[in-house]
Chain A
Amino acid sequence: MTAEPEFDLIRDSLDHCVKCTICESACPVAAVTPLFPGPKYVGPQAERFRGAGPSVDASLDYCSSCGICTLACPQGVHVAEINSRARAVMKQQKGMPLRDQLIARPPLQGKLGTPVAPLANFVLSNRFARLVAEKTLGIHRNAPVPRFAGRTFRSWARRQPAPATTGTRRVAYFHGCSTNYFEPGLGRKAVAVLAHNGCRVVLPRQECCGLPLQSNGIFDAARSYVRRLVAGLVPYARQGYTIVATSTSCGLMLKREAIEILGVEDDDLRVVSGQTYDICEFLAELHQAGELKTDFRPVPLTVTYHAPCQQQGHNIGKPALDLLGLIPGLTVIELDRTCCGIAGTYGLKREKYDIAMQVGSGLFGDIRAAQPDLAVCDSETCRWQITHGTGWTSVHPVEVLYRAYGLS
């Protein structure tokens, strides 16, 4: 691991830290709890004391990995990446809770839960079962967990006739775990929107990208997950397919985090990484090239838009706003909040649930005040957290586009 050059570039960026504390001023976790002393303190500062010996500071575990510190840093210090790596070392030393092993493996959950979806959903929504899960596993009783769809996105896709589109733009759709097991409707709509815009969509063999493992500090397993995913995607990438993701955080894993946090260094990943697009990024670039269909029907709704922290990690601004802005009749309210709090699996944990809810409270308040018809957000766990925190229905931007195109 230590011999891999990109790894060193990430760690060595701490020498650019001028202690300006801009990252501290941006951190949504340090703003609500003294348990986390802030990204500069546990990052570039504490990192200097980390070496072969024991981990120096347990407060590191309260970082939610939202990544805003890296985005905010004007000096180019990879604060969040340094912290993620240090936490992995710390958790190896201190032992990995069974809970973290479980919640970091969506495919395992999906394969166990899907065949018995009604039962699994009943258990997950049962107060007593959740109380037991909190006491035994440490998953907070109120934390937002998704419902199993019962029928996966892939099993739906297998039964579809070969698409009749004559489009020349070739897209390999990276749907990710949550679309497959929990929100297959999003996958259907994404494929329809892409096809409507002349894309020939294929579904490569794929499994989990390893992001939940990575954010829980289980790096070895995360590396093998992402390598397996890359092996399934790379034949398409090498043939010139664009890899389009609806899960913004999993797309970011391929673009950046597998390299910068996990230190995976290989040509296949580089090729896949360079060809990977978040779906709104992809569609907005189609529009810039004059190739996006704009045959939208009026959608007389008011929606809020929250760009999740992981979406901001793409460094592409907020292309969803440009797309939603094309829809006649739609009123879009841009919300200005860093993070909803959930940060993947962070807010599920018993000891972190209250922090996550406090981080999200500003966003929840904004949504309640706006009283929108829908709360739009690119990331699945954030949508679940928003619905949990506000009661509002939360959808992916593509679902609004699907409706505006009049597809069904």
Chain B
Amino acid sequence: MSEQPGPAAADVIVLGAGMAGLVAAVRLAEAGLRVVTVAKGYGSLRLAPATIDILGYAPGRVDSPAQALPGFAAAHPEHPYALISPAVLADSVQWLKEHVGTYAYAGDSSVNMLLPTALGVPRPSAVVPETMAGGDVRSLGPVLIAGFGVLKDFHPALAAENLQAATAAYGRTIEARPVLLNVPADGQADVGALALARRFEDAAFRGGVAAELRQAVRDEEAVGLPAVLGMDQARSVWTELQQAAGRPVFEIPTAVPPSVPGMRLARALQDRLRRAGGRVMLGAEATGPELRDGKLAGVRIRSAARVTPRACRWVVLATGGLASGGIEVDVSGTVSERALALPVQAPGPDQAGFGPGYLGDHPMETAGLRVDGSLRPVGPDGEPVYENVYAAGAVIGGARPWREKSGDGISLSTGYLAAEAILKEAG
């Protein structure tokens, strides 16, 4: 076949299918552009709890991300949030809420809720699935934390005890007690969260759980359950269980992958992408830019048996950071960007060793691309490397998402903004 790419089969090639890539791809495809998403595998969104953490700690706990962000951005000029206006952030949150199908979300960027983790620790998050919002400890009364004997990834006694202790430390103790429900294990020694979620789509199974819950719950209690209440019909499973149990029910994300809520959100966005005519090349990998006269005319993509240049007008680079392989460190400490070989802002090899403490800050945490105001990766001179490449999500450097609890907000807002920049150019 021809070595040169012919007329573009795609307007936009999106590299990566995590939160940032999916948001950009859906937005562009729904605007009528021809979008091809190239995904080495299923994106990491399926491992995430599906809450949209915008800014949780800076470094003290943040009550209102919207209020904290201007000051945070001013203090961190290299942070991706320095490029995201409050309006873009709010628009991107609103956009997401309108694109998750029946898996409805609650909250906005003005207030952080405090949701219990599987360990019972209240965790700040701003925009969360409605199935989880009832766990907000700021308004939670007495609670029954229910688990399943066959689900070893969630221990209600541990969650309840910690929740009570942690909220006591906040000055408003929540009475929490555990219960283990007995669901049939079908001969299996243990059942994963995913298998349980699939079983919850079965009405008879749900009915059995609801009956047990009614027995266990007291009049004044809400019920916290691991986030296994259904997969494709999660919202109706949750609604029905609340009615059957006669008490408010909320989900708590399990700590061990796969994440059922993450799968729900990923599937909802993938569904939108497919219905908008977006294409996905699964298992394919970008191996470099396809240049014509020094300009990016496409992306070289490895499929089975060969690498093929694929033409496009724009690229959204959403391959993730160090954890996802979008940014790579080799044994010499050299840091590189894998898909398009863009220049990376990273500590030098002398700084790249271990930090002083196991959980201390590490210079490598902020490694990633530097971008201009429209999210185009720039070189050392501060100028865009390519006019038509936009970065989104964790591939952009400058953030410490796991410390800040900012990763979802960064991915959502930069994915949204990258699409917006392309839509402006497309006219």
| CB–CB B283/A288 < 8 A | no
| CB–CB A315/B46 < 8 A | no
- Report the minimal beta-carbon distance from B273 to chain A, rounded to whole angstroms: 10
Let me know if A74 is at the binding interface, CB within 8 A: yes
Q: Smallest CB-CB separation from B4: which chain A residue?
A: A289
* Interchain Cβ contacts under 8 Å between A and B, 29 examples: A20-B47, A20-B257, A24-B192, A24-B258, A25-B263, A71-B283, A72-B41, A72-B42, A72-B282, A74-B40, A74-B44, A74-B324, A75-B325, A252-B304, A254-B305, A255-B305, A256-B304, A256-B305, A277-B1, A285-B1, A285-B6, A287-B9, A288-B8, A288-B311, A289-B7, A290-B7, A314-B304, A315-B303, A336-B271
| CB–CB A21/B258 < 8 A | yes
With A277-B1, A317-B279 known as contacts, the answer to whether A34 contacts B304 (CB < 8 A) is no
Q: Smallest CB-CB separation from B47: which chain A residue?
A: A20
- The one of B9, B263, B284 in contact with A322, judged by C-beta atoms closer than 8 angstroms, is B9
- Report the minimal beta-carbon distance from B234 to chain A, rounded to whole angstroms: 15
Which residues on the B side are within 8 Å of A289 (C-beta)? 1-2, 6-7
| CB–CB A336/B274 < 8 A | yes
Interface residues of B in 1-47 (CB under 8 A from A): 1-2, 5-9, 36, 40-44, 46-47
- Report the minimal beta-carbon distance from A307 to chain B, rounded to whole angstroms: 10
Query: A60-86, CB under 8 A of B: which get 1 and which 0?
Result: 000000000011111110000000000
> Across chains A and B, which 3 residue pairs bring their CB atoms closest together, nearest first?
A74-B41, A255-B305, A315-B303
- The one of B2, B7, B186, B283 in contact with A315, judged by C-beta atoms closer than 8 angstroms, is B283
| CB–CB A276/B305 < 8 A | yes
Let me know if A379 is at the binding interface, CB within 8 A: no
Let me know if A330 is at the binding interface, CB within 8 A: no
In Å, the complex CA distance between A273 and B198 comes to 40
Which residues on the B side are within 8 Å of A71 (C-beta)? 41, 282-283
Q: How many residues of chain B have a CB within 8 Å of chain A?
A: 42
- Report the minimal beta-carbon distance from A226 to chain B, rounded to whole angstroms: 14
Q: Smallest CB-CB separation from B187: which chain A residue?
A: A34
Which residues on the B side are within 8 Å of A24 (C-beta)? 192, 194, 258
In Å, the complex CA distance between A315 and B36 comes to 12
- Report the minimal beta-carbon distance from B9 to chain A, rounded to whole angstroms: 5
| CB–CB B274/A25 < 8 A | no
Interface residues of B in 182-219 (CB under 8 A from A): 186-188, 192, 194, 198
| CB–CB B281/A22 < 8 A | no
Let me know if A46 is at the binding interface, CB within 8 A: no
Which residues on the A side are within 8 Å of B40 (C-beta)? 74, 76
Interface residues of A in 311-356 (CB under 8 A from B): 312-318, 321-322, 334, 336
| CB–CB A34/B186 < 8 A | yes
Q: Which of B1, B198, B325 has the most CB of A within 10 A?
A: B1
Let me know if B342 is at the binding interface, CB within 8 A: no
| CB–CB B263/A316 < 8 A | no
Interface residues of B in 95-148 (CB under 8 A from A): none
With A74-B40, A242-B1, A289-B2 known as contacts, the answer to whether A317 contacts B306 (CB < 8 A) is no
With A22-B258, A73-B41, A316-B281 known as contacts, the answer to whether A273 contacts B46 (CB < 8 A) is no
- Report the minimal beta-carbon distance from A283 to chain B, rounded to whole angstroms: 11
Let me know if B280 is at the binding interface, CB within 8 A: yes
Interface residues of B in 365-418 (CB under 8 A from A): none
| CB–CB A74/B325 < 8 A | yes
- Report the minimal beta-carbon distance from A52 to chain B, rounded to whole angstroms: 29
- Report the minimal beta-carbon distance from A291 to chain B, rounded to whole angstroms: 8
In Å, the complex CA distance between A254 and B271 comes to 32
Which residues on the A side are within 8 Å of B279 (C-beta)? 317-318, 321-322
Which residues on the A side are within 8 Å of B362 (C-beta)? none
Let me know if A274 is at the binding interface, CB within 8 A: yes
Q: Smallest CB-CB separation from A317: which chain B residue?
A: B281
With A71-B283, A285-B1, A288-B6 known as contacts, the answer to whether A316 contacts B303 (CB < 8 A) is yes
- Report the minimal beta-carbon distance from B113 to chain A, rounded to whole angstroms: 27
In Å, the complex CA distance between A255 and B9 comes to 23
Let me know if B247 is at the binding interface, CB within 8 A: no
Q: How many residues of chain A have a CB within 8 Å of chain B?
A: 43
| CB–CB A25/B46 < 8 A | yes
- The one of B46, B198, B281 in contact with A31, judged by C-beta atoms closer than 8 angstroms, is B198
| CB–CB A273/B9 < 8 A | no
| CB–CB A288/B9 < 8 A | yes
Which residues on the B side are within 8 Å of A322 (C-beta)? 9, 279
Which residues on the A side are within 8 Å of B324 (C-beta)? 74
Let me know if A26 is at the binding interface, CB within 8 A: yes
Which residues on the A side are within 8 Å of B187 (C-beta)? 34
| CB–CB B42/A313 < 8 A | no
Which residues on the B side are within 8 Å of A314 (C-beta)? 303-304
In Å, the complex CA distance between A252 and B5 comes to 23
Let me know if B302 is at the binding interface, CB within 8 A: yes
With A20-B258, A25-B263, A71-B283 known as contacts, the answer to whether A313 contacts B304 (CB < 8 A) is yes
With A289-B2, A316-B284 known as contacts, the answer to whether A22 contacts B304 (CB < 8 A) is no
- Report the minimal beta-carbon distance from A339 to chain B, rounded to whole angstroms: 13
| CB–CB B303/A22 < 8 A | no
In Å, the complex CA distance between A255 and B281 comes to 17
In Å, the complex CA distance between A139 and B41 comes to 35
In Å, the complex CA distance between A242 and B270 comes to 34
Interface residues of B in 251-309 (CB under 8 A from A): 257-258, 263, 270-271, 274, 279-284, 302-306, 308
| CB–CB A312/B306 < 8 A | no
Which residues on the A side are within 8 Å of B188 (C-beta)? 34
Q: Smallest CB-CB separation from B262: which chain A residue?
A: A25
Interface residues of A in 260-295 (CB under 8 A from B): 273-274, 276-277, 282, 284-285, 287-290
| CB–CB B192/A315 < 8 A | no
| CB–CB B305/A26 < 8 A | no
- Report the minimal beta-carbon distance from B37 to chain A, rounded to whole angstroms: 9
| CB–CB A334/B304 < 8 A | no
| CB–CB A315/B282 < 8 A | yes
Q: Which of B41, B186, B194, B257 has the most CB of A within 10 A?
A: B41
Which residues on the A side are within 8 Å of B1 (C-beta)? 242, 277, 282, 285, 289
Which residues on the A side are within 8 Å of B192 (C-beta)? 21, 24
- Report the minimal beta-carbon distance from B38 to chain A, rounded to whole angstroms: 9
- Report the minimal beta-carbon distance from B99 to chain A, rounded to whole angstroms: 16
| CB–CB B304/A315 < 8 A | yes
In Å, the complex CA distance between A274 and B302 comes to 12
Which residues on the B side are within 8 Å of A19 (C-beta)? 257
Q: Which of A20, A72, A288, A336 has the most CB of B within 10 A?
A: A288
In Å, the complex CA distance between A289 and B311 comes to 11
- Report the minimal beta-carbon distance from A254 to chain B, rounded to whole angstroms: 8
Which residues on the A side are within 8 Å of B308 (C-beta)? 285
Interface residues of A in 18-67 (CB under 8 A from B): 19-22, 24-26, 31, 34
| CB–CB A312/B258 < 8 A | no
Which residues on the B side are within 8 Å of A284 (C-beta)? 9
Which residues on the B side are within 8 Å of A256 (C-beta)? 304-305
In Å, the complex CA distance between A273 and B307 comes to 12
